[in-house]
Amino acid sequence: MNQTAKSKKFRSKKRAAILGKVGIYAILLLITACMIVPFLWMLSASIKSDREVFQMNPFVWIPEIPKWDNYIKIWTKIPLLKFVENTVFLTIVVTFLQLLTSSFAAYSFAKLEFKHKNALFLAYIATIAMPWQVYMVPQFIMMRQMGLNDKLLAMICLQAFSAFGVFLMKQFYEGIPGELCEAARIDGMSEYKIYAKIMLPLSKPALSTLTIFTFVSTWNDYLGPLIYLKSESKKTIQLGLKMFIGQYSSEYGLIMAGSVLSLIPVIIVFLCLQKYFVEGVASTGLKG
Amino acid sequence: MDEKKAARLQKLETEAAALMGKIRAEDDIEKKKQLIAKRERIQSQANSIKNNRRISREAKRDLVAYSFIAPNFIGFAVFTLIPILFAFVLAFMNWDGSNAPSFAGLSNFARLPQDTFFVAALKNTLIYVVGTVPLTMIASLALAIVLNQKIRAKGFFRTVAFFPYVASLVAITAVWSMIFHPSKGPVNYLLLTVFGVDQKNLPQWFSGGLVLLTLILFSVWKYMGYYMVIYLAGLQGISGELYEAGSLDGANTWQKFLYITWPQLRSTTFFVVVMLTINCFKVYDIAVMLAGGGDGKLSTSATVLVYYIYQNAFNYWDLGYSSAIAMVLFLMVLVITLIQFRYEKKISE
């Protein structure tokens, strides 16, 4: 009697657990669908003709005759290759400078003692909450004065030295025990060597996180290039794509093909680095 | 010269001796540590005078530290700090960018309340912030909790949820404007055929009263993956023992969330809300791309503050006025951030 009641209770508990699992998967699948359907739609539309894109009855994901030549045509309709070149150049230089200078400065803030340390760090912190849009106009005037208007160099200066990068790296370095550096100092290592031989190899998660953030934000930046880069040969892929959409607003297939192409690099970078990502966010104090 | 040195040395040494006495008498360890550090500093100063070194060890140490900071700090100072100071000055000037600027006092700010376009931009931005911040927070927290369970293909779900964040805005807004196309898009087609909404009642997603809702929905969709990762990192910092103890006490799932997860995530939530608020006030490209049409011009129903800053600066070359609007943006971000800091402090006490 007692036994059956117990097993009944156990069974109902198990059933509730299974129901819960099913519920969780249902929610997950729904959210995943919301997240991924626009991308699938993009892929599908990129191989359709303009008429097929909006054909609903019947709706097909892959048209009978896929228009793969959308992916060829887009390169000739706009100077896409030039745009890609510019964007790749900018993104790589900015990401490299950002990683190098931020980790360099962060090492000093996290592991060295020196005069005016707090004041200098405060200067960084105070600007984190300051939206770039607040000072983009005076910044543009200054850059124009320096002769940087319509130069890719302006975009590099703009994006390579962020307070965010220093902050992120510093948080991570503070989690590395100071004894490591002390021991190295006693062994007679210089600070530069400690940075290069001990700290950098340990900071893969933080560097990956910062790489994803910098790469994504530089690759996808729109307002910065819009303000600075005026001539067509200087434009980035975002500006170029937007220009194309403005000019040929009903060439849906081509727009989607260009969009797919513009996504590929960021997605590759993200997929390569994502295994460090959650760890990186956790250890850089980004979670607060 | 030598006498001067000797006198200075004497002074430093007495100071060090006095400190030594203080250190012996001090009980508080923290204070003791400070005193010891101070004494060491003085002693090394004295040492460098004794050894006739030109650069003291401190100075050398400072130089090394500065050499680490310099590459970043110089760029940061020139391209961020100075423009920020410049922006504050500019808000009180009249300037078209080429002729000589003149002092305007508060007149730029006095123009703001009468400017209907500015008022609309301010209102829309606030509505957007108020709509987006809580929705994104709740969605990303819920998603993080679900993805923190023991489930299959966790990595796949996480990656997919993060996709919209890394995807370029131009590309995905192009998709959204097709999917939500008022006459041809699949969403309205479904509303028409499956849900039987009248042709003339079909929602115009990108104009009129609905446009802000579309912007909010889009932002939640695009950014929830990012904040989900932050929440995931926060969740992984919560010790499993707390949940075990909760289970022993017979707490159900909801109680565990309410009494363990939510309080433990407080600082994460604080960070998420602060970042979300700052990022939402910056909204510009989403509005221009979803509601701007071919020429990227925003009407009063969809305009936002940053758009108006841009317009005044680069289309009307009214730099002072544009900076005044930027100051309004800055002040709102500042005030809201400060309130949140206050609140966080009050709760943690």
List pLDDT tens digits, range A125-159. Answer: 888 878 888 899 999 999 998 888 888 999 998 88
CA geometry: angle at B143 spanning B139 and B146, to 5°? 145
Residue position matching structure tokens 């609007």: B325
Question: Nearest C-alpha of chain A: how many angstroms from B52?
Answer: 22
Cα B164 from chain centre:
19
Q: What pLDDT score does A212 carry?
A: 86
Name the most confidently modeled range: A7-21, B6-20, B21-35, B296-310.
B296-310
Q: What is the mean pLDDT of residues A32-61?
A: 84
- CA-CA distances (angstroms) from residue B319 to A140, A209, B322? 11, 37, 5
Given a cut of 80, whether residue B62 has pLDDT beyond it is yes
Facing residue for A38 by CB, picked from B159, B176, B295: B176
Higher pLDDT residue, A164 or A282?
A: A164
Average pLDDT over residues A38-62: 83
CB contact under 8 Å between B82 and A56, yes or no, is no
Q: Taking CB atoms and an 8 Å cutoff, what residues of chain B touch A241?
A: 168, 170-171, 174
Q: Which CATH number fits domain A70-283: 2.40.50.100, 3.40.50.1360, 1.10.3720.10, 1.10.150.530?
A: 1.10.3720.10
Taking the domain B107-348, which CATH number applies?
Answer: 1.10.3720.10
- Residue A1 has a pLDDT of 47
Among candidates B10, B261, B316, B28, which has minimal Cα distance to B144? B261
B114, amino acid identity: Q
Distance, in Å, from the CA atom of B188 to the CA atom of B50, rounded to the nearest integer, reads 85
Which residue did the predictor score with more confidence, A89 or A281?
Answer: A89
Q: Which of A25, A34, A35, A61 to mutate to test the interface with B (most CBs of B within 10 A)?
A: A35
Give residue B193's pLDDT band: very low, low, confident or very high (50, 70, 90).
confident
pLDDT of residue A284: 66
CB contact under 8 A, B179 and A38: yes
Torsion, Cα B227 B228 B231 B233, to 10 degrees, reads -110
CA distance B266 to B275: 14
Of B337 and B199, more confident? B337
Beta bridge partners of B93: B103
pLDDT of residue A96: 95
Contact A238 B233 (CB under 8 A): no
Q: Could you tell me if A195 and A104 are in contact, meaning their C-beta atoms sit under 8 angstroms apart?
A: yes
% of chain A exceeding 70 in pLDDT: 94
Neighbours of B11 (CB within 10 A): 12
With cut-offs at 50, 70 and 90, classify the pLDDT of residue B140.
Answer: very high
How many residues are there in chain A?
288
In sequence order, the 6+-apart residues with CB closer than 8 A to the CB of A63 are A47, A48, A49, A52
- pLDDT for the residue numbered A179: 87
Delimit the domains of chain A by residue range.
2-46, 70-283
DSSP-based three-state secondary structure for B93: strand
Over its C-alpha atoms, chain B yields an Rg (Å, rounded) of 29
Q: What is the mean pLDDT of chain B?
A: 86
Closest CA to B230 of B139, B156, B339, B168: B139
pLDDT above 70 covers a percentage of chain B that reads 97
Q: Which two tokens stand for residue A197?
A: 């031989």
Name the least confident of A203-212, B48-57, B219-228: B48-57
Report whether pLDDT(B43) > 70. yes
CB B281 within 8 A of CB B305: yes
Contact B278 A131 (CB under 8 A): yes
Residue B304 has which token pair?
């936002």
Q: Which residues of A173-197 are buried (b: 16+ CB within 10 A; e: fewer)?
A: bbebeeeebeebeeeebebeebbee
User: In chain B, which residues have their Cβ closer than 8 Å to the Cβ of A158?
Assistant: 79
Here the tokens at position A117 are 């340390």
Say if B230 is an interface residue toward chain A (CB within 8 Å).
yes
For residues B200-207, average pLDDT: 79
- What integer best gives the mean pLDDT of chain A? 85
- Scan for tokens 């923190």, then name that residue: B148
Question: Lowest-pLDDT range, A212-226, A249-263, B97-111, B290-304?
Answer: B290-304
Binned at pLDDT 50, 70 and 90, residue B218 comes out as very high
- pLDDT band of B285, cuts 50, 70, 90: confident
**Does residue A262 contact residue B170 with C-beta atoms inside 8 Å?**
yes
Nearest CA in chain B to A40: B175
Chosen for mutation from B44, B73, B79, B136 (greatest number of chain A CBs closer than 10 Å) is B79
With CA atoms as reference, report the closest residue to A86 among A23, A29, A161, A153: A153
Which one, of A77, A53, A59, A65, lies nearest residue A250 by Cα?
A: A53
pLDDT score at B275: 86
CB atoms < 10 A from the CB of A171, how many? 17
Contact B80 A127 (CB under 8 A): yes
pLDDT the model gives residue B55: 67
Q: Which residues in chain A have their CB less than 8 angstroms from residue B328's CB?
A: none
Query: DSSP string covering B198-230, please?
Result: -GGGS--TTSGGGHHHHHHHHHHHHHHHHHHHH
Contact yes or no for B79 and A41 at CB 8 A: no
d(CA A223, CA A140): 12
pLDDT band at A83 (very low <50, low <70, confident <90, very high): very high
* Closest chain B C-alpha to A132 CA, distance in angstroms: 8
Distance separating alpha carbons of residues B160 and B94, to the nearest angstrom: 49
Q: Is the pLDDT of residue A288 over 50?
A: no
Q: CA torsion angle for B196, B198, B204, B209 (degrees, to 10)?
A: -100
Is the predicted pLDDT of residue A285 greater than 60, yes or no? Answer: no
Inform me whether the C-beta atom of residue B100 falls under 8 Å from chain A C-beta atoms.
no
d(CA A179, CA A135): 41
CA distance B54 to B280: 53
Q: Which residues of A touch B333 (CB under 8 A)?
A: 129-131
Q: Is B76 on the interface with A (CB under 8 A)?
A: yes
- DSSP calls for chain A: -HHHHHHHHHHHHHHHHHHHHHHHHHHHHHHHHHHHHHHHHHHHHHTS-HHHHT--TT--SS-SS--TTHHHHHHHHS-HHHHHHHHHHHHHHHHHHHHHHHHHHHHHHHH---TTHHHHHHHHHHHHTS-HHHHHHHHHHHHHHTT-TT-HHHHHHHHHS-HHHHHHHHHHHHTS-HHHHHHHHHTT--HHHHIIIIIHHHTHHHHHHHHHHHHHHHHH--HHHHHH--SGGG--HHHHHHHHHHH-TT-HHHHHHHHHHHHHHHHHHHHHHGGGHHHHHHHTTTT-
A155-190 tens-digit pLDDT: 998 888 888 889 888 888 888 888 888 888 888 888
Residue type, B80: T
Q: How far apart are alpha carbons B186 and B207 in whole angstroms?
A: 18
Q: What is the pLDDT of residue A47?
A: 87
Question: In the structure, what pLDDT confidence band is assigned to residue A5 with cuts at 50, 70 and 90?
Answer: low
Higher pLDDT, B168 or B4: B168
pLDDT at A89: 94
